Structure 1
Amino acid sequence: MISGNDMESSSVMMIGRKGSWLAGAAGALIAAHAPAQIAVSVNDGKQPRAGESDFRARPDNLAVIDMRRYPPRVTGTVDVPGSMIGPPTSVAMARDGSFAIVTSAQKADPADPAKFVLDNKVSLIDLTDPTAPKLVQTVEAGDGASGVAINRAGTMALVAATGDGTISVFSIAARRLTLIDTLQLDKAPGPVDIALSPDGKTAVVTQRRGNAIWRLAIDGTKVTDTGVTFPTGVNPYGSVFSRDGRYAYSTNLQGRIPAEGAPPPRGGRIGTVTAIDLRTNRIAATVEVGPLPEHVALSADGRYLAVVVVNGSAASPTSPAYSPFGLLKVYRVNGATLTSVAEAQTGQWAQGATWSDDGRTLLLQSAASRQIEVYRFDGKALVRDPAATLTFDTRPAAITTALSR
């Protein structure tokens, strides 16, 4: 409270009220022109779990989740081809939140619905009305279409295909996809995910069956292989760029590359997250995070990295690798330095995670329970809120917001 005579106090109060009104008006104006904060979850309706006796296939779909309020809630859904097979980056959202792109790596075999074959579908979803998302186009990429990335301008999308080793380059205009180029990479390592730098000039591609990541160069709509690879670890899977674009952080499902002739570690491999310095083209750091890290998600401000660790929870209960829970871990980010801050046990068969814009809420996909779990984060502790859980009749497989990558 400001001390002084009554006249001075009255003047301050009047200025304060006027300032509050102006701030409120400015906030409303900004809100009117800013995209609503939403997440989209791609859910696989055809993927059974081993030993599941009562499984019934349903259509794959995309669910829109409103994160402007707490707890988050589903506002709309639309059927679209999707797949749990592949990284939880098989969906990307435009920076302005107006559309999303979904890939499908596998589909039911037309000759035998109990089996699966590679798929190549890429779909564009109109999110102009989050309560009524619309499938407006489906096109084809390479077989096993998996990771997808959209540039900041919303004019280009890249899709990595594990089955044929290609990167499909699409232009985007008026919410329509046009295939303009296909880059052929080595098929054997299986390119599974692709991430774009903030300036749109660099992409990194993870190798599902290899031990390295490719670096690609982008000039306009021309995408080329630079010949530079990073030996990050065994089975690289997903990746994300730092907000300044200098570093890329990638998961390695099977951890560090063993020394030549070294025996396999007892108890299975510990997965890792690797920080790549793209200024020097060197591995800057590697952190052990746990068995089978599926996904890395950076907070909107770039200060925290969430890591989803399956931790044996997708294994059969009779397997020696089985665990009744997965793990969600949060690391503080300072360039190449990742410092453990918090972790929580999650549901089984965890897939992807994404942050609210303010960094206080995390959504975590649990495929086994067909749920999205909600966690609160205060910079120190990570706490699940069971009352906020979102439940589906399909398996959550991939998730994103406009600021995820």
Structure 2
Amino acid sequence: MSREAAQTVSALEGVGEDGVMEPKRYDALLLASFGGPEGQEDVIPFLRNVTRGRGIPDERLEEVATHYRANGGVSPINAQNRALKAAVEAELERRGIDLPLYWGNRNWEPYTPDTLEQIVEDGHRRVLAFSTSAYSGYSSCRQYREDYGMALRDRGLEGRLTVDKVRQYFDHPGFVEAFAEGLREGLAEVKAELAERGVTEPRLRLLFCTHSIPMTDADAAGPRLPEGEEHEGGNLYTAQHLAVARSVLERVPEAEGIPHSLVYQSRSGAPHIPWLEPDVNDALQELKGEVDGVVLIPLGFVSDHMEVKWDLDTEATDTCRELGIVSRRTPTPGTHPAFVSGLVDLIEERHQANPGSKPERASAAEGGPWPDVCPAGCCVKVMRDGTCRPTVAAVDSEVGAAQGA
């Protein structure tokens, strides 16, 4: 069975033409994420997992490992997932939702296949999963669905366990509000520091930051549009980020009138392959002499993992310092109460606590709410030869630098 076929493992009964599933009774939950090394000895094995099947030698992987080596070989992502799991469990208990929450990663312990085996051993048969990726795209949505199908096939769990996935939640109010609060605080801090320097009428700029991806992958994100139609920004990936940025700004009146733009980070791979631009550091260079302060909003990320810590907190912050620009990087949602509450809202959309109930599908940005079950051909993986085949794992945002290793 191919990964394409394995994707159909989710039970599809009760799915409307709009891709919305009727609520079901689940007996377990799964937090799915990318995973990351937790020590120097883990770094190369982890990167081998990320780039499996591509024959990349360890010497090249060691070049990619620099950021992990500089941080003791530890990615923050696993610790952050443990904290998120605990926060979601507390919110489930507060709401009286009696569902055990498990955790599985794509590329490091605890691995998703092992977690699914444990779920079955514990007597559960219907799982609802949510991931730490909010936007549409192959590695952030479709690949997670394929991961579940491949795991069930490879571990002999087909027919014994059903795994469904909540919708992509870029537009959910809980996700948006977490960024809005951070922007309010970051903007106030930049203004205060500039005031201390005697700048009473500061020139400010807001940069919404997300992971760059190859243009071919961006063009393949989401379902195909009818001929003659086009997404804002040229592709769905960009359009979703622009919509969320507007929704964040609507919640922060202090930001009214301040110019803003969407920028990208963590570009990697062969120079001749086009990726989404501009890079955050290039954008900052263009602002030299034109602004006094910048707020960097990591709009594309759920938690402060390695790329946020390195690409924004180190590289972009260093660029600002060199240019004499006061900067603040706002927090990612992490375990923000609004975000955690929003995740449980997504669970309640799908979990039939009360027979016959149909919970509201909250949405705070254009383009949402996203369907529960994506249409065929949505978010395919574009191979280097230009073909679209969901047969090779894409490198996710946590280790985007490995994309072109």
TM-score higher than 0.5: no
Compute the TM-score of the two structures, normalised by the length of structure 2.
Answer: 0.27
Rg larger in structure = 1
Richer in strand (by share): 1
TM-score in terms of structure 1 length: 0.27
Question: Which of the pair has the greater relative contact order for Cα pairs under 8 Å at 6+ separation?
Answer: 2
